């Protein structure tokens, strides 16, 4: 009989009909959901959640047109260089001895011209840059941006998602890019994660328009540079540099502020609306971004510069679920089981008093036991109390956290 039931259960599993029947027959075994061969994988479930109807949501490429290269000409040049290198015995000798050095600056320049824009676009998609700034639009950064902050010991570059602390980004960075002298550009540094009152808006930290060529210092400063100020408790914020190419000189008087602006409401910004209103005269061309998180230097910045109370965010964790008490809990430490149903404040008070027991204002702490495990327990001591005493002797657990 048992053999026939097992065959029935196996048949039902193979035909994806009876997991519940099999679980009922095999006492103590319960299958939750469909078996792995039939149930959807995590990737399939995430793909369904992220699916967007292409008739409603479609992505638009708003980048500069790619440079026109002749693939046959490129191939001929590469073959020509390869032939020259193969005929050079010195290169072959250096390569065989692992002493051949490569100019990394030339490699980076070549990467920026070829595969760089496509890789940067993928990284920006991963960080949600285009989605949160331009909606369903995206662009390939055709113009490489070299941005670096002055810090002690040298330069701190901005790449694509690296961390720059607020204390390291107090002053405006150096921005370098290649361009013709007869072109005009706009550079905007914006924070899509930091607005205090409107989560759909941004704070613009730097705005320079009508830049002639690559001379950022000669451009029209619409908004002075403002350092990052991520509040305490919210984690990392993204700060994004976007370089736009202009078709003509533009009037940015609607965005202009007088002097260093520390009123955050005047720095409210929307990249989506900004580009939508000026899309006929602006084209995104360059991109770089970094992440910043709170540090102690922001206390002074909030109080003395922004003239506001420092915001601190804390997450309210839901209380843990505790099941009803049992008459005879099996295989559960007595003290830990009872602590679940006591007031946490009272427990913390007891631990604090236990820590302060050996604290004296004029005497040092007593020396620790040389051999804690070799100390004898006098009299009858229950097992749970032995464990607590052993933890205290070996300095385990939260009773020693303050030490």
pLDDT computed for residue 52 by the predictor? 76
Q: Rounded to an integer, what is the distance from CA 321 to the centroid of its chain?
A: 30
Residue 74 has pLDDT above 90, yes or no: no
The rounded mean pLDDT for the chain is 87
In the chain, what are the domain boundaries?
2-50, 65-113, 120-305, 334-400
Q: Which is the CATH superfamily of the domain at 120-305?
A: PEBP-like (3.90.280.10)
Is the whole-model pTM more than 0.75? Answer: no
Query: Smallest Cα–Cα separation from 231: which of 288, 314, 149?
Result: 314
Give me the mean pLDDT over the 383-399 stretch: 84
Q: Residue 21: which pLDDT band, with cuts at 50, 70 and 90?
A: very low
pLDDT computed for residue 19 by the predictor? 46
- Half-sphere CA count of 295, side-chain side, radius 13 A: 14
Which three-class secondary structure state does DSSP give residue 228?
Answer: coil
Please give the backbone phi and psi of residue 149, each rounded to the nearest 5 degrees, phi first: -100, 145
pLDDT computed for residue 55 by the predictor? 67
- Residues of the chain above pLDDT 70, percent: 90
Pair type for strands 268-269 and 237-246: unpaired
b/e map 347-369, b = 16+ CB within 10 Å: eeeeeeeeeeeeeeeeeeeeeee
Please state which of the ranges 64-78, 161-175, 280-294 shows the lowest mean pLDDT: 64-78
Give me the mean pLDDT over the 128-142 stretch: 94
Please state which of the ranges 213-217, 241-245, 331-335 shows the lowest mean pLDDT: 331-335
Q: Residue 399: which pLDDT band, with cuts at 50, 70 and 90?
A: low
Tokens (6 digits) for 364: 């040092």
The DSSP-derived string for 229-269 is -PPBTS--EEEEEEEEEESS----TTT--SSS---GGGGEE
Positive or negative, the Cα torsion across 319, 321, 327, 332?
negative
Is the Cβ–Cβ distance between 319 and 340 less than 8 Å?
no
> For residue 246, what are the β-bridge partners?
184, 282
CB-CB neighbours of 327 under 10 Å: 4
Give the Cα separation of 209 and 245 in Å (integer): 10
Please state which of the ranges 112-116, 132-136, 308-312 shows the lowest mean pLDDT: 112-116
pLDDT computed for residue 32 by the predictor? 67
Q: Measuring CA to CA, how many Å separate 352 from each of 16, 333, 392?
A: 58, 22, 13
Residue 85 has pLDDT above 90, yes or no: no
Residue 106 has pLDDT above 80, yes or no: yes
In tens, the pLDDT along 226-239 reads 999 999 999 999 99
pLDDT computed for residue 4 by the predictor? 46
Query: Smallest Cα–Cα separation from 267: which of 295, 213, 226?
Result: 226
Please give the backbone phi and psi of residue 382, each rounded to the nearest 5 degrees, phi first: -65, 160
Is the Cβ–Cβ distance between 284 and 246 less than 8 Å?
no
């Amino acid at each position: 009989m048992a053999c026939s039931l097992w065959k029935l259960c196996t048949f039902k599993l193979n035909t994806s009909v009876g997991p519940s029947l099999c679980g009922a027959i095999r006492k103590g075994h319960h299958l939750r959901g469909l078996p792995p061969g039939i149930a959807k994988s995590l990737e399939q479930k995430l793909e369904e959640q992220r699916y967007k109807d292409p008739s409603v949501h479609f992505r638009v490429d708003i980048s500069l047109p790619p440079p026109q290269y002749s693939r046959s000409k490129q191939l001929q040049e590469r073959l020509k260089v390869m032939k020259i290198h193969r005929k050079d015995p010195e290169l072959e000798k250096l390569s065989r001895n692992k002493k051949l050095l490569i100019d990394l600056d030339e490699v980076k320049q070549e990467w920026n011209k070829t595969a760089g824009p496509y890789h940067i676009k993928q990284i920006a998609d991963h960080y949600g840059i285009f989605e949160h700034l331009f909606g369903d639009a995206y662009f390939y950064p055709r113009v490489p941006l070299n941005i670096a902050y002055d810090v002690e010991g040298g330069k701190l570059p901005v790449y694509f998602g690296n961390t720059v602390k607020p204390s390291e980004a107090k002053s405006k960075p150096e921005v370098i890019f290649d361009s013709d002298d007869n072109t005009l550009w706009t550079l905007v540094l914006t924070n899509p994660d930091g607005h205090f009152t409107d989560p759909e808006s941004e704070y613009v930290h730097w705005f320079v328009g009508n830049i002639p060529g690559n001379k950022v210092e000669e451009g029209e400063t619409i908004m002075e540079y403002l350092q990052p100020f991520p509040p305490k408790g919210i984690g990392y914020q993204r700060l994004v540099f976007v370089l736009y190419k202009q078709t003509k000189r533009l009037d940015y008087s609607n965005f202009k502020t007088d002097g260093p602006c520390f009123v955050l409401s005047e720095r409210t910004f929307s990249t989506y609306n900004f580009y939508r209103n000026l899309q006929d005269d602006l084209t995104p061309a360059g991109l770089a971004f970094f992440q910043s998180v709170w540090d102690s230097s922001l206390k002074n910045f909030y109080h003395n510069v922004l003239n506001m109370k420092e915001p601190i965010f804390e997450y309210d964790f839901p209380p843990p679920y505790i099941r009803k008490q049992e008459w005879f809990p099996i295989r559960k430490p007595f003290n830990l089981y009872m602590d679940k149903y006591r007031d946490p404040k009272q427990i913390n008070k007891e631990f604090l008093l236990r820590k302060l027991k050996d604290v004296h204002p004029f005497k040092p702490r007593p020396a620790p036991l040389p051999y804690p495990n070799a100390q004898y327990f006098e009299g009858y001591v229950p097992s749970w109390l032995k464990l607590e005493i052993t933890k205290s002797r070996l300095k385990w657990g939260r009773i020693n956290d303050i030490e």
